[in-house]
Amino acid sequence: MHPTAAVLRPLSHRVLTGSGVRYARNLDPSSRRILTGVGSRKLKPNHMQTRGILSLKDHVYFSKAEASGAGRNGIVKSFGDAPLELKMSMPKSTGGKGDGQNPEQLFAMGYSSCFLGALQLAAARANKKELAENAKVTAKVFLGHPENPDLDGFGLRVEINVEGCSDDAIIAQAHEFCPYSRALKHGAEVTVTKS
């Protein structure tokens, strides 16, 4: 198996936040303020953040899934302790039949579950376990066209809503700790191979 080359576009004109990519030209020049999902922070003039990649020193678990058939209208299988097989289908709003699951649904399910676990852990670490015991987390995953005209195809936007826990510090800690949030905020190491 040999890695294939990936083409990366420079991030020189983009500002990265915990809630995704925002273009510097779209920021309000008078305030230079970016909302990060939990609060806002002030930017210094002409201040741009570069994005690194979060690397793992080890792994304690891995999941394997395989897609076959007609891509987003094919079959996806996961392997492991509780194998799962799903029929995939493009949503009706994108011209599909909508008679199966789609990747955005699965991503939203995984993200909401993971964020809830991170929220409960953050509350327990702060000796406020009761604050998150009855919490619910909703993840909305939006599929749409990127604003950047150089990017073809689709992109994602995510909104997380926490219900039943109003402690901003605990929610912020959960957002920092959740692996899904980290992958979107810091980047994840991705290797593409062929066999």
Segment 42-70 mean pLDDT: 78
The reply to whether 1 falls in a domain is no
Looking at the domain assignment, is residue 4 inside a domain?
no
Under a CB-based contact definition with an 8 Å cutoff, are residues 16 and 29 in contact? no
pTM to 2 decimal places? 0.72
Residue 93 φ/ψ, nearest 5 degrees: -65, -15
**Any domain includes 194:** no
Instruction: Kindly state the DSSP code that residue 81 receives in the 8-state scheme.
Output: S
pLDDT of residue 22: 38
64 shares its domain with 110: no
Q: For the chain, how many structural domains are there in total?
A: 3
Nearest alpha carbon to residue 167 among 37, 18, 38, 34: 38
Q: Is residue 34 part of a domain?
A: yes
Q: Are 182 and 138 contained in the same domain?
A: yes
Specify if 79 maps to a domain: yes
Region of residue 71 (phi > 0: left; psi between -120 and 50: alpha; otherwise: beta): left
Q: Are residues 183 and 127 in the same domain?
A: yes
Whether residue 67 is contained in a domain is answered as yes
Residue count of the chain? 195
Of 101, 132, 166, the one marking the end of a domain is 101
Q: pLDDT tens digit string along 64-116?
A: 999 999 999 999 999 999 999 999 999 999 999 999 999 999 999 999 999 99
Asked if residue 27 has pLDDT above 60, the reply is no
pLDDT of 20 over the 70 cut: no
Are 27 and 34 spatial neighbours (Cβ–Cβ below 8 Å)?
A: yes
Average the pLDDT over 43-62 and give the result: 73
Number of other CB atoms surrounding residue 21 within 10 Å: 16
Q: Could you tell me if 154 and 175 lie in one domain?
A: yes
Tens digit of each residue's pLDDT (9 = 90 or more) over 112-143: 999 999 999 999 999 999 999 999 999 999 99
Looking at residue 150, its pLDDT comes to 94
Q: What's the mean pLDDT in 4-16?
A: 37
- Please report, for residues 55, 77, 157, 183, the alpha-carbon distance to residue 88 in angstroms, rounded to integers and kept in the order given: 31, 10, 21, 24
Q: Which CA distances in Å does 3 have to 7, 10, 94, 119, 192?
A: 13, 21, 32, 36, 6
Task: Tell me what the pLDDT averaged over the chain comes to.
Answer: 81
Domain co-membership, 47 together with 70: no
| Cβ-proximal residues to 26 (8 Å cutoff; 6+ apart), any chain | 147
pLDDT at 154: 92
Distance CA 96, CA 104 (A): 14
Residue 18 and residue 46 in one domain: yes
Q: Is the same domain home to 65 and 17? A: no
> Do 108 and 184 sit in the same domain of this protein?
yes
User: Do residues 121 and 93 share a domain?
Assistant: no
Structure token pair of residue 135: 């919490």
pLDDT at 50: 61
Q: Do both 116 and 181 map to the same domain? A: yes
Q: How far apart are CA 126 and CA 141, in angstroms?
A: 29
- Whether residue 3 lies inside any domain: the answer is no
CATH of the domain at 178: 3.30.300.20
| Phi, psi angle pair for 88, to nearest 5° | -100, 150
112 shares a domain with 92:
no
Residue, of 100 and 2, whose pLDDT is higher:
100
**Are residue 117 and residue 68 in the same domain, yes or no?**
no
The parent domain of residue 28 ranges over 9-51
